[in-house]
Structure 1
Amino acid sequence: MRGLISRIFGFVAAVKFPRFVQTFINEKYVSGFKIDMSEFKQPKEYESLTALFTRELQRPRNFDVSPQAFISPSDGTCLELGVSKELKAISVKGHEYGIAELLGDSMDRSERDAELEYVNIYLSPRDYHRYHAPCDMRILSALYVPGELYSVAVSALLKVPNLYAKNERVVLKCKLASGKKMWLVFVGALNVGKMKFDFDARIQTNACAGNVALYEYENLSAKKGEQLGMFELGSTILILSEQGAVKFDLTAEQKLKYGDKIGTIN
């Protein structure tokens, strides 16, 4: 049912209403969520709500280009961070999710017993919804896992056990220059079943009859800051890395902008 609701919402959000109606809708959305539009076009210039949700920056953001700097892949709020214990990480306020279940077949058997460092970034409806590479990296695979589309707001995380591992998601397995592995997990949510990835149009999310799909890549690289794709509303990005790969430097509840330095690559 949640998937159907999200597909219906996505259909309505993509409708291009007459200009004066669309302008009214867009301006109400911007004012209702108190969106800072200083880096974007004016609300009246977006032809649908989807176009507004997925708005593009009008000017590139500056970020630390040094090879060691690890940047936030998106706007949002850091809900939790830390090191997993017994292969479980914290979603928010002590509530756990299982790493092996979350990452599924993107983990080799030899990787399943290692504890990982993690950062959870929540994107609210007011945030910029495109996501970018946090560092120079190779993308080894993309795993699509169908699932539920629960809200990923804090209130839902407190009610639904292991929510991240139950929701629809796309898991990118990446390799850093050091050879260490990192996983970027893009979690779908109510009204946000649609995720797009610039490097592979085969990845279809919130499909009517989705099956687990693993896409492997031979020579796919991404430069720091390169756009990877977009959510069509707010959701969550989870960063999980092998211990010692990145020294994270941020705190829970910290507000983030794509491009902010949040760690140093070892």
Structure 2
Amino acid sequence: MLEKIQVILQYLLPIRWVNYFAGLIASMKGGWATRYAIKLFIKFYNIDLKECSNPNIDDYETFNDFFSREFNIHDRPINRDQNTLIVPADGVISQIGKINDTHLFNIKGHSYYLDELLAGHDTIINYFKNGNFCIIYIPPQNCHRVYMPCTGTLRELLYIPGELFSVHPKIFRNIPNILSRNEKIICLFDTNFGYMAQILVGAAIVGSIETTWGGTITPPRTGVVKHWHYPPLGSASETDNNEVVVLTKGEEMGAFKLGSTVINLFNNDSVLLNSQLQPNDIIRIGMSLAQGNNRNNN
């Protein structure tokens, strides 16, 4: 019964206004009130401050500062094998597996397809037909910074406007095509394992989605698709153009202000997913996500 009520509220509540005011409050410098809210949040979610780069609560002026806190990624046991792709975020696996042509998976009778997830962008859809995918839910207590599974050169970035439904597992199971319907940014990288998409999905109470090279992508929420192109691999402009973005394995690529979901898509036969990873598994940045078929070695 409670689960049904939670789903109904997703349709009835003015989610955009809730997001707006939540973001406003989270960005306020509230002094003792902010510190008290952070302490309650830490206690409620049992957050280990030892993992934070800065464990001193007094240094966080806003709740957003704490929520998007940095953590000591260099203390993590990151798999350094050049053909191993790593988990890009701390969280829980929602779904993982093989893409059947353009079909990803079914859940409670709802089907997910590439054309819906990628907003009908045919070129990008074709890259990932019969490929592999992994969907990671980031709970509120986790670090909300997202890292690179492998080294890649950014080729395209799309902002796709949409809904802001919660992506909590209970809601995810009951609202059809929630990942396709929600706001998202799609980052297309060229890697040694072919093209890889890293998709950051917005949700209820997500104040903003950011990238390390472009800053805040949303808000503002204008309802308009935005599309950025970057110089193609091997072009003469790559050595001169300041807009070329190359991120190395384990390097931060983006962040959420409040939590959401990360989706990775891989070319057909470019990677072999870690068979030990299953839905509902708790995962951490640096763990093995897949073994790659390095095209430079072919």
Contact 2:166–2:203, Cα closer than 8 Å, also in 1? yes
Aligned position for 1:138: 153
Q: 1:49 to 1:35 in 2, by over 3 A?
A: same
Contact 1:80–1:91, Cα closer than 8 Å, also in 2? no
Aligned position for 1:148: 163
Contact 2:185–2:201, Cα closer than 8 Å, also in 1? yes
Aligned identity (percent) is 25
Contact 2:189–2:196, Cα closer than 8 Å, also in 1? yes
- Worse-superposed segment, 158-167 or 42-51: 42-51
Aligned position for 1:44: 58
Aligned position for 2:173: 158
The structure that has the greater radius of gyration is 2
Contact 1:106–1:173, Cα closer than 8 Å, also in 2? no
CA RMSD of aligned residues (A): 2.0
Contact 2:128–2:267, Cα closer than 8 Å, also in 1? no
Contact 1:146–1:206, Cα closer than 8 Å, also in 2? no
Work out the CA distance in 2 between the residues paired with 1:110 and 1:25.
43
| Aligned-residue offset at 1:210 | 3.3
Aligned position for 2:40: 28
Q: 1:21 to 1:255 in 2, by over 3 A?
A: same
TM-score (norm. length: structure 2) = 0.82
Find the partner of 1:245 among 267, 270, 281.
270
The 5 A counterparts of 1:199-210 are 199-201=213-215, 204-210=217-223
Work out the CA distance in 2 between the residues paired with 1:86 and 1:64.
30
Superposed CA offset, 1:132-190 (max 9, x none): 11101111111100000000011111221111010000001112214x22111110000
Bigger proportion of residues as helix: 2
Find the partner of 2:251 among 219, 226, 231.
226
Work out the CA distance in 2 between the residues paired with 1:59 and 1:118.
24
- Worse-superposed segment, 226-235 or 57-66: 57-66
| Aligned-residue offset at 1:57 | 1.2
Unaligned ranges ≥5, structure 2: 1-13, 232-243, 294-298
TM-score (norm. length: structure 1) = 0.92
Contact 2:198–2:265, Cα closer than 8 Å, also in 1? yes
Aligned position for 1:212: 225
| Aligned-residue offset at 1:113 | 8.2
- Worse-superposed segment, 245-254 or 85-94: 85-94
Aligned position for 2:205: 191
Q: 1:54 to 1:9 in 2, by over 3 A?
A: same
Contact 2:133–2:265, Cα closer than 8 Å, also in 1? yes
Unaligned ranges ≥5, structure 1: none
Work out the CA distance in 2 between the residues paired with 1:92 and 1:35.
31
Partner secondary structure for residue 50 of structure 2 = coil
Q: Does 1:259 align with 2:286?
A: yes
| Aligned-residue offset at 1:109 | 7.3
Find the partner of 2:118 among 99, 103, 108.
103
Q: 1:260 to 1:94 in 2, by over 3 A?
A: farther
Aligned position for 2:237: none
Q: 1:225 to 1:76 in 2, by over 3 A?
A: same
Aligned position for 1:55: 69
Aligned position for 1:72: 87
- The count of aligned residue pairs is 263
| Aligned-residue offset at 1:115 | 2.3
Work out the CA distance in 1 between the residues paired with 2:251 and 2:180.
27
Q: Does 1:3 align with 2:28?
A: no
Aligned position for 2:235: none
| Aligned-residue offset at 1:45 | 2.9
| Aligned-residue offset at 1:233 | 1.2
Work out the CA distance in 2 between the residues paired with 1:261 and 1:106.
29
